[in-house]
């Protein structure tokens, strides 16, 4: 299954609308929901590789190797290559945004974590733009990033949000490390780690500290017709949008409101808000650049001995242990992370006192 940035429940809301001026969006959402899922699943299976053990360190001369292709409005991948590493700027904004976004994600992984691309060993970064007609999504299919242009009524082009690009490429990092199953709490952690990386890529590119950051995922995707800031808010899940067509952002902010559902692979895009908030709270409590402390701990956890079926409690424990290992048992990092997980109801207060 391809990992898409727009959850199916949101597309379903748009597909059902009969609001004036939203006919194109409704039709685009219906097509996006039906867009070749069997083919994308087959591509994902063909692209699967076993997780790479350990934390390989990027060599001093490591650099991204990017190729951007153009599907030309078809659903055929990869499309025609239109910009390769080192090529001059294109006249197509989507091509340039994809190219720069891949580079920004590579830079975050290398500078913050010493990781040479998605697999840690210099994997080329490939992306395809102009996928489908009014395609309302972007996804990682196990081999490449794929971007739609949006319908123009609800969504604009999906290359316009740097956090989206970082999010989707991070699914590749998870693929090569913990290989978290895309179901239930493990799937929500898969989604949440991608949101963490998406936010960090944006913050790293802008030089923002944790308290300066927006903590929004998908900011800039919605058109002006939508009453909303982004797809998700990591710091305040459930507040990203409140719109007549889209409805209200349904993400829970704590385990008190955990959504038990069979839809959306067991609520992977919904319940990820709980883990997202834990990260944002810890990062803000620690201050400074989020990738240096909280981000490093999350990276240590995802590249450690985490089970592919890990639930929230197991991942919370893994982050507290990783913080203790890297910064010390009595460190501010371990305390802030344990406290954040307790705040969202994953770890109880007594458990938060020690790993």
Active site residues: 168, 269
CA neighbor of 227 nearest in space, from 210, 215, 244: 244
Give the H/E segment covering residue 300: helix 294-302
CB 319 within 8 A of CB 337: yes
- DSSP at 160: G
242 - beta bridge partners?
248
CB 247 within 8 A of CB 233: no
Q: How many CB atoms lie within 10 A of CB 243?
A: 16
Give the H/E segment covering residue 169: helix 162-176
Q: How many CB atoms lie within 10 A of CB 207?
A: 8
| 3-class secondary structure, 68 | strand
Surface-to-core class of residue 16, CB atoms within 10 Å of its CB (0-12 exposed, 13-18 middle, 19+ buried): exposed
The answer to whether the bond into 78 is cis (omega within 30° of 0) is yes
Dist. CA 273–CA 233, nearest whole Å = 8
- DSSP at 235: S
Q: Cα torsion at 329, 334, 335, 339 (round to 10°)?
A: -140
């Amino acid at each position: 299954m391809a990992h898409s940035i727009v959850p199916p429940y949101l597309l379903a809301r748009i597909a059902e609308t009969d609001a004036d001026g939203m006919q194109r969006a409704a039709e685009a959402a219906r097509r996006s929901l039906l867009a070749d899922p069997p083919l994308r699943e087959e591509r994902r299976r063909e692209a699967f590789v076993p997780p790479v053990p350990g934390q390989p360190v990027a060599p001093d001369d490591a650099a991204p190797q990017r190729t951007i292709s153009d599907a030309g409005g078809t659903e055929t991948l990869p499309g025609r290559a239109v910009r390769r590493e080192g090529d001059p700027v294109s006249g197509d904004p989507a091509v340039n945004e994809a190219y720069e976004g891949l580079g920004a994600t590579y830079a975050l992984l290398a500078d913050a974590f010493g990781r040479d691309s998605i697999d840690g060993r210099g994997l080329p970064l490939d992306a395809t733009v102009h996928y489908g007609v009014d395609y309302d999504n972007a996804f990682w299919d196990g081999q490449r990033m794929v971007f739609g242009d949006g319908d123009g009524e609800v969504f604009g082009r999906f290359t316009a949000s740097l956090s989206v690009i970082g999010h989707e490429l991070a699914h590749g990092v998870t693929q090569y490390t913990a290989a978290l199953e895309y179901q239930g709490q493990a799937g929500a952690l898969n989604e949440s780690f991608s949101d963490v990386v998406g936010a960090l890529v944006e913050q790293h590119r802008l030089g923002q500290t944790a308290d300066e950051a927006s903590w929004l995922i998908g900011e800039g995707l919605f058109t002006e017709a939508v009453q909303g800031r982004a797809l998700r808010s990591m710091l305040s899940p459930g507040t990203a949008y409140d719109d007549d067509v889209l409805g209200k952002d349904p993400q829970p902010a704590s385990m008190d409101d955990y959504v038990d559902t069979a839809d959306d692979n067991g609520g992977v895009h919904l319940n990820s808000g709980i883990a997202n908030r834990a990260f944002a709270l810890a990062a803000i409590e620690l201050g400074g650049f989020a990738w240096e402390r909280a981000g490093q701990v999350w990276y240590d956890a995802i590249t450690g001995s985490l089970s592919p079926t890990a639930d929230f409690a197991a991942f919370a424990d893994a982050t507290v242990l990783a913080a203790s290992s890297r910064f010390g048992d009595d460190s501010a990092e371990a305390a802030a992370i344990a406290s954040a997980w307790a705040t969202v109801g994953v770890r109880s207060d007594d458990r938060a006192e020690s790993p």
